[in-house]
Amino acid sequence: MTLKAIAASRLLTKVTHLPATTSLETLSPGGRLLALKAGANVIMPNFTPMKYRKNYAIYPKKAGVSLSPDALLEKIKTEIDAAGRTIAQNPGHSLRSQWRVMSKR
């Protein structure tokens, strides 16, 4: 159901950020990759230092909490590559202003 909602949202709103969340990965291994393939375009990795992560346990068995920030970054890079995407090098501001510039060409 969530993947369908992501796909429909992407079709209806081409210039929005749609997250491939850690919760999808927690529910189903590979869930974040499926979300990217369905139209998500943002990943929000948990780079909280290991010694503080126990203070931010939002839900049980959260995916990726045992990975160091470096290991998590490598895993996410692999997922992005597997989805046929690239990592943006910009700050990630709104896509709307970029879309307006491109549509005027």
Q: What one-letter code names the amino acid at 21?
A: T
What are the phi and psi torsion angles at 42 (to 5°)?
-135, 135
Contacts of 56 (CB under 8 A, 6+ apart): 46, 48
Domain that holds residue 54: 2-103
CB 18 within 8 A of CB 6: yes
Which pLDDT band holds residue 40 (cuts at 50, 70, 90)? Answer: very high
Average pLDDT, the chain: 86
Domain total for the chain?
A: 1
Question: What pLDDT, on a 0 to 100 scale, did the predictor assign at position 11?
Answer: 96
CB 21 within 8 A of CB 35: yes
The residues with which 19 forms a beta bridge, in sequence order, are 42
Question: What pLDDT, on a 0 to 100 scale, did the predictor assign at position 102?
Answer: 56
